Chains A and B, each alone.
Chain A
Amino acid sequence: MPVPCRTGCGKNAMLKRPKTGDALCKDCFFWAFETEIHFTITKAELFKSGDSVAVAASGGKDSTVLAHVLKTLNQRFNYGLNLMLLSIDEGITGYRDDSLETVKQNRDDYEMPLKILSYKELYGWTMDEIVAQIGRKNNCTFCGVFRRQALDRGAAMLGVKCIATGHNADDIAETVLMNVLRGDIARLKRCTAITTGSEGTIPRVKPLKYTYEKEIVMYAHYKKLVYFSTECVFAPNAYRGHARALLKDMEKIRASCIMDIIYSGETMAVKEEVTLPSQRTCIRCNFVSSQEVCKACVLLEGLNKGLPKLGIGKSSKAKKMLEEYNAQQTNYKESLQAAAKELDDVQSKKELCLSDSKNCKSGLCKGKTKLNRNSSINSNDYTNSSNAKECCSNCSGSCERIKVNADVNNTKVNTLLEKYVINETNIAKVNGEGTLCNPSNSDDNLNNSDDEEHTHAEYIDTHIEQEDETCSASCGKLGSLNIGF
């Protein structure tokens, strides 16, 4: 029985919108999807005519759809924006190749200039060079810290007015929950803001703030957009993993909970008497930092002075190391060795993986679970991100972020379509359509990818510092460059 499109366009509906449950035809779905984003952009006054806007492009579905829709709306409604794509290349052999290829495809498809900025250009070092300096143990710290600042540095180099990121409604709801779990009141306050950025910095905007991830996937599919899908086999971090698992379970019961959580975040405030860590700018590089000198600058200083472990431990330690370094320039070698040894001692105590071995998918953690498994993720006994390192130690080089093969990927789209597509004949067509980089058939193992994501996200007890200084930022999430929360 054909269902008429709810808009009254006369055509038959072909899908049920995940967000509202309304039955729409394909064209009306496109129109609704795009018009909603237009509404968000205009109502929240995200852009001004004449602005240069960098779209943070990772090659994933969120940033691909964002670039496509911004391009479309810019033409349709004469925004007068100068749009460009901005990608970051960490300089890890083999790591970004596929996603950067996809971004280049975006560039050609949407006729947008693309700037790929490498860590080499931004920081003077590639990740490969850093790994060579520091070994594999601590490189996730560098990767995470540098990545968080890379977009800001890149945008400054491009001279743009703002950065548009692909964070969608699901991401934001998940982040609200995550920040509650880790008690991060400052981020809890910021994370639902549609525009973020303090004075003197380049603001970041989230045009997809109210867009459901499921609709993004469907839009990309029906528009046959090319995107690259990656997933990390590791949990992004314990808190995000918990939050994601919880949100998925809740969404099954009430789909509107994503919007409800965002509304909760929007109407919450931090009590006046609570003092938040002040956000300031780094005295060296002028980018946002909570300290006088930002972590990126400390790490760079370490690299440039041949003290690569500087900044990996506590900041008091870093200070001490620097002082020693400066005082004993003459005894350079000795002090370096002493400092390194000192750090090593501390590190080795910390580096036991806290993952519950039965849940850690890495296989690297087996036998490393000596530290008591019940020590909480909030325990302050183990500072820094070091605990996550075992899990991620070979993130760079051969990052565990696996390219989700097209089988699994198509499966995911198919599962979604099966649930929301009204006319069954449409499902049959899906397999042949070229939405993904390497589409191929997979009629069996439906649901496979969902389950997989579920289990690996759960209960991995890695301790992280306030900031996500793990590889999570790079390989944690489909699509969007996961920074800035």
Chain B
Amino acid sequence: MICKKCKNSGSVTVRKEHMYCDNCFMLNINHKFRSCIGKNKILSSNDNVLVCLTGGKSSTVLLDLIFNGLSQDSHKKLRMVPFFLHITGLGEKENDITVAELIIKQCQSYNFNVYIVNICEYYFQRNNTLPSVNSVTDVHNWTELNSNTNLKSILGKMTSTSSNDIEMKIKHDIFIRAAKQLKCDFIFTAETTTTLAVNLLSNLAIGRGSQVQDDIGFFDNRDENIKILRPMKDITEEELHHYIRIKNLIEISVDTIRGNSLQSVIKTFVTDLQENFPATVSTVCKTADKIGSVDKNTNRCKFCKSNLPEKSDKITAIDATIFSRTVSNGQPPIANRNTGAEEQEDIKMSLFPFIDNYFCYCCSKNYLEAGLHDSNFFEISGSKNL
């Protein structure tokens, strides 16, 4: 078999049909990474960029691609000033430390420094102080946190689907705050095509369809000043696998998606698609690039910062759900519509608390679910002043 680019003997097969030699394969991945940053023309020369690492495959490759880019000759040089961040504290303590230590080692092999941040400490603190670089020691005292700020136990009581969602939103919040602290206007996260396809379908499944543009597209524009970019979006899991093998990189498998959740079901589904119908996965991502939102309101969800919907008379799934509860309560809602207005509000509050004013659809449902347990952490977190 010969490489489809240079006709030398091939060594890497992509999608079971395209053959490359190692060299051409690596050039191709580098090209995908650089063109993804380049063609969107958002980044300008020597911007500070916060790079968020997980220790997993895509994070490992991103780190390597950045290092390569920075060490290129003048006209090919990637012009950015990277800062590195890793969020820890939701897994088993020993495992968390192993991962954090690996990331520190990875970064140091490139002469980079990395901030290891404990999710609970950082999320609930007010002053946004980052710990000293390359240190895991002072970030693992979260067990002493009180029950209101112990995210791990709070999320443990919720459904896996909601926990997965909330964890992602909290991490994004921390990314933004840390970026402000480090004077970065940009953030890189390492989602691949495969991950983004999972995220798109997950968004749909939990009612975040109108947020697809920010959550799955090339960049997240929800913060006024700081953009979250996804430079790995054209690279697949399969390609990561080859990249890591060829460069002999060390990664650690970090699966943060909790099982028995919508996200885990979707992940299994997408993995099968990737295996059998790889083009469908990229189609899913291309679809995401065309999706916008009807929510043009400038009010934002207090938790996920997405635009809230405009008031509208059009019937939606919210109306239908509220009405289902209303009829199950046995009220004759049509006959004397006006008498039940207060009850209607109560029912709405019992199904979609603070929706449209403070929360988007999904965050409202998450809030409801969290509220069934301890004092609601939504209130003491980013979404205060309810």
Contact = CB atoms under 8 A, between A and B. Distances in A.
Sorted from nearest, which 9 A-B pairs have the closest CB atoms?
A264-B209, A7-B330, A376-B279, A267-B210, A210-B320, A263-B317, A22-B328, A260-B207, A183-B283
Contacts of A245: 269
A40 B327 CA distance: 13
A438 B242 CA distance: 58
B201 A177 contact: yes
Nearest to B282: A378
B276 A459 contact: yes
B328 A7 contact: yes
19 contacts: A6-B330, A17-B328, A246-B201, A250-B262, A250-B265, A254-B161, A261-B207, A263-B207, A263-B318, A264-B203, A264-B204, A264-B208, A265-B209, A266-B317, A267-B309, A268-B212, A271-B290, A374-B278, A459-B272
A183 B317 contact: no
Contacts of B207: 260-261, 263-264
B293 interface: yes
Contacts of B161: 253-254
Given A249-B265, A253-B265, A9 B330 contact: yes
B327 A32 contact: yes
Size band of the interface chain B makes with A: 35 or more
Contacts of A32: 324, 327-328
Interface string B266-285: 10010011001111100110
Nearest to B291: A268
Contacts of A39: 319-320, 323, 333-334
A263 B316 contact: yes
A372 B206 contact: no
Contact of A271 (B203, B210, B272, B291): B291
B213 interface: yes
Contact of B210 (A6, A19, A40, A268): A268
Contacts of A376: 277-280
Interface string B175-201: 000000000000000000000000011
Contacts of A176: 204
Nearest to A376: B279
Size band of the interface chain A makes with B: 35 or more
A183 B289 CA distance: 10
Nearest to B325: A20
B317 A260 contact: yes
A180 B327 contact: no
Interface of B: 15-17, 159, 161, 200-201, 203-210, 212-213, 260-262, 265-266, 269, 272-273, 276-280, 283-284, 286-287, 289-295, 309, 314-321, 323-325, 327-330, 333-334, 361-362
Contact of A185 (B201, B209, B291): B291
A263 B291 contact: no
A264 B262 contact: no
B138 to A, nearest CB: 38
Interface in A257-282: 257, 259-272, 274
Contacts of B201: 177, 180, 246
Interface of B, secondary structure class, is: helix
Given A36-B324, A260-B361, 16 more contacts: A20-B324, A39-B323, A182-B283, A210-B317, A253-B265, A254-B159, A254-B161, A254-B262, A261-B209, A264-B208, A264-B209, A265-B204, A267-B309, A268-B292, A376-B277, A376-B280
Contacts, number: 189
Contact of A24 (B210, B320, B328): B328
A269 B334 contact: no
Contacts of A260: 204-207, 317, 361-362
Question: Which of A9, A17, A238, A249 has most chain B Cβ within 10 Å?
Answer: A249
Contacts of B212: 268
A194 interface: yes
Contact of B269 (A238, A249, A259): A249
B178 to A, nearest CB: 30
Contacts of A183: 283-284, 286-287
Nearest to B15: A374
Interface in A57-88: 77
Contact of A374 (B269, B276, B334): B276
Contact of B323 (A36, A253, A256, A272): A36
Nearest to A31: B327
Nearest to B320: A210
Contact of A270 (B290, B295, B309): B290
Given A185-B287, A185-B290, A377-B280, A267 B320 contact: no
B294 A181 contact: no
B325 A246 contact: no
A35 interface: yes
Contacts of B287: 180, 183, 185, 188
Nearest to B17: A374
A242 interface: yes
A430 interface: no
Given A257-B206, A264-B204, A374-B278, A269 B293 contact: yes
B218 to A, nearest CB: 13
Interface in A230-262: 238, 242, 245-246, 249-250, 253-254, 256-257, 259-262
Contact of B317 (A9, A180, A262): A262
A43 B208 contact: no
A265 B200 CA distance: 12
Contacts of A374: 15-17, 276-278
A38 interface: yes
A271 B289 CA distance: 8
B293 A180 contact: no
Contact of B333 (A5, A35, A265, A379): A35
A19 B316 CA distance: 16
Contacts of A268: 209-210, 212, 291-294
Question: Which of B209, B213, B319, B361 has most chain A Cβ within 10 Å?
Answer: B209
A264 B210 contact: yes
A5 B329 CA distance: 9
Contact of B292 (A9, A209, A272): A272
Interface string A162-191: 000000000000001100111101001000
A238 B292 CA distance: 26
Contacts of B292: 268-272
A57 to B, nearest CB: 24
A450 B289 CA distance: 35
A461 interface: yes
A133 interface: no
